[in-house]
Chains A and B, each alone.
Chain A
Amino acid sequence: MNIVVCVKQIPDPSAPQSLDEHHNLNRSGKLLLDEADTYGVEMALQLAEASSGEVVVVSMGDATDLTGLRTALAMGAARAVVVSDPALRGANALDTAAVLSAVITSVSPDLVLTATESSDGYTGTVPAQIAEFLGWPSVTFAKSLSASENSLTVSRQSEAGYDEVTVSLPAVVSVTAGVVEPRYASFKGIMAAKSKSVEVKTLRDLGITLDQGQAITAVTEAPSREAGEKFVDDGTAAEKIIAFLESVKAL
């Protein structure tokens, strides 16, 4: 089974985040593989290994730094395609999905995996948008999946628990954290990744016109909560909490 995993390179999430003058996230510096995408990469590798298929990672975004894509390649993906174009800075979810779909069509895989939402954009709509552009079925929020001949069986999270869903291939599936335990890249994998192909494409290569039908008007400071009393436990914390609950009439 040949699989495309859509992965995003994001600024270090543990560093303070900031916005540029166009209200877009500052993306200068090192770009890491979104942790949310490591699950899709691992799942894809396991499915491909079991069927002697190939895993291709596809990304849209800045290609000035490729640390994140190299991480996916070091885990075992065969190659990467990244669409990078100044016109895509701040691209909305619809344009992102249109771009990714165009690349996916050219790779023509049996399955597309994504995360349920990206750590920096978290619109959570890109997977369904890709599926609609491709005209494929999709299952979002997969917490486990297994493959058979021409279909997948997916446990899909639900409000009440989970549903078992079968979906015919090709399909788009978004996977949750915890679907599999992502591997750490081995030294051999890291060395091999250096010589794997990372193809950089522009919008012109894909022949896509952008939508860009939304804009940010303003970003303001949210009203913040004040910290209240801090009490260092001296053995009476339980009484302190009870008294507090009584004072707010919760007891």
Chain B
Amino acid sequence: MTIANLWVVLEPAENGFTSTSLELLSHARTIASSVAGVTWGTGNSQAALAGEYGATTLFCIDVPAQALPGAAVAAAMAGGELPDLVLIPTSYDGRDIAGRLSARLRRPVLTNVTNLSADGHTEHQIFGGTRLVDAHFTTPGVGIVVARAKSFVAISSGGAPATVTPLAIPDLGRRGESSITNRHVEEQTGPKLEEASVVVAGGRGIGEVTGFAIIEELAELLHGAAGASRAIVDAGWVPYSLQVGQTGKTVKPDVYIACGISGATQHMVGMKGSKVIIAINKDADAPIFQMADLGIVGDVKTVLPALAAALRARS
């Protein structure tokens, strides 16, 4: 398979598209001769941004603001003249679109992809990122690929604004019978977890919910963001938006500081791309030490306050 025509699903975000969308678009133009974006909502006004990152055409789907986009976007895409491959960001709505499109077109979907080559081969990680799987589509027809955040780097191509082409939504039947009645936005200060150059993450070893305060303080002192393992998200100590790992966010900061985190494969797969990793754990055999550039065998209850005090003294 060679990819002549490629569509990239560009997920709307405040002032543009999500960072993963732009990462995928940047990669798309290195492997395909013709690249189009597909977006919804207020996409019309983003033709310049889509063009700047490599799309020549921007397909816009008029999804009402209170609708979940999955069914509508998939149906509209399926009604268009399909490309060789559709590339979709791993996100809540991205997976809905991919699943719906796959079933609608009876075409398989490759997920958790971290690399895609011009011959249509994909790479994804299994067993906590210790093995790489090379896969590809074996039957003719459009390939659907869902790729993870931070797999590629977003680079502007300086292209001209994309040509906007509307894509109509066919009758969805019962598929569209859902609506968003209210949106809750969690307050956030400091850099975003996915974009921070320093991430300080806490796990079950912080002991209790109040133990997270020191994680947040360290993040602030280092001008970074706080993160968490799933153990303390499931325990309800911190919101899911802080979760790092397979089912959470992928982060690649300059420095990742894991505090009281054992280093389960599902956690490591979300942070092993960090430039340097510091781990603090009282168990000298914790798996996290196998990939830590600096491993501190110690108690977070003493090490973290001392570190915060030392940092405060410097600022």
Contact = CB atoms under 8 A, between A and B. Distances in A.
Contacts of B168: none
B161 interface: no
B234 interface: yes
A218 B124 CA distance: 11
Interface in A131-173: 131-133, 135-141, 143, 153, 156-168, 171
Q: How large is the interface on B (under 10, 10 to 19, 20 to 34, 35 or more residues)?
A: 35 or more
Given A125-B109, A213-B141, A227-B292, A143 B103 contact: no
A123 interface: yes
B186 A160 contact: yes
Contact of B104 (A127, A132, A222): A132
B107 interface: yes
Given A158-B183, A160-B186, A161-B184, A125 B102 contact: yes
A162 B240 CA distance: 10
A39 to B, nearest CB: 10
Interface string B26-50: 0000000000000000000000000
B112 A123 contact: yes
Contact of B180 (A117, A163, A219): A163
Contact of A217 (B100, B121, B179): B121
B309 to A, nearest CB: 7
Interface stretch (B55-63, B130-138, B152-160): B130-138
A102 to B, nearest CB: 13
Nearest to B88: A125
A215 interface: yes
A248 B296 contact: no
Contacts of B292: 227-228, 230
Q: How large is the interface on A (under 10, 10 to 19, 20 to 34, 35 or more residues)?
A: 35 or more
A237 B300 CA distance: 10
Nearest to B101: A132
A169 B81 CA distance: 33
B118 interface: no
A17 B128 CA distance: 11
Interface stretch (A65-73, A103-111, A239-247): A239-247
A56 to B, nearest CB: 21
A87 interface: no
A250 B100 contact: no
A170 B57 CA distance: 37
Interface in A186-225: 211-222, 224-225
A11 B247 CA distance: 19
Interface string B228-270: 0010011010011100001100000011010000000000000
B306 interface: yes
Nearest to A220: B132
B289 interface: yes
B189 interface: no
Contacts of B280: 237
A230 B297 contact: yes
A213 B137 contact: yes
A222 B129 contact: yes
Interface in B86-140: 90-92, 95-100, 102-104, 106-112, 121, 125-127, 129-139
Nearest to B173: A135
Nearest to B268: A225
A171 B174 CA distance: 9
B169 interface: no
A162 B254 CA distance: 29
B96 A161 contact: no
Which secondary structure characterizes the binding site on chain B?
Answer: mixed
B213 interface: no
A153 B182 CA distance: 11
A241 B138 CA distance: 50
A116 interface: yes
Nearest to B308: A238
Given A176-B240, A229-B294, A233-B299, A161 B307 contact: no
Contacts of A125: 95, 98-99, 102, 109, 111, 146
A231 B70 contact: no
A219 B306 CA distance: 45
Given A135-B175, A248-B255, A250-B198, 17 more contacts: A92-B108, A97-B103, A128-B95, A130-B103, A135-B173, A140-B70, A159-B13, A159-B18, A161-B239, A167-B178, A168-B174, A213-B108, A217-B121, A217-B134, A220-B131, A228-B294, A244-B294
14 contacts: A125-B95, A128-B70, A128-B98, A132-B71, A138-B96, A158-B183, A161-B184, A213-B108, A222-B131, A230-B292, A238-B306, A242-B307, A248-B254, A250-B222
Nearest first, the 6 closest Cβ-Cβ pairs linking A and B are A128-B99, A233-B298, A132-B103, A228-B293, A238-B306, A125-B99
Interface of B: 13, 18, 68, 70-71, 74, 90-92, 95-100, 102-104, 106-112, 121, 125-127, 129-139, 141, 146, 173-186, 197-198, 222, 230, 233-234, 236, 239-241, 246-247, 254-255, 257, 272, 275-278, 280, 284, 289-299, 302-303, 306-307, 309-311, 314
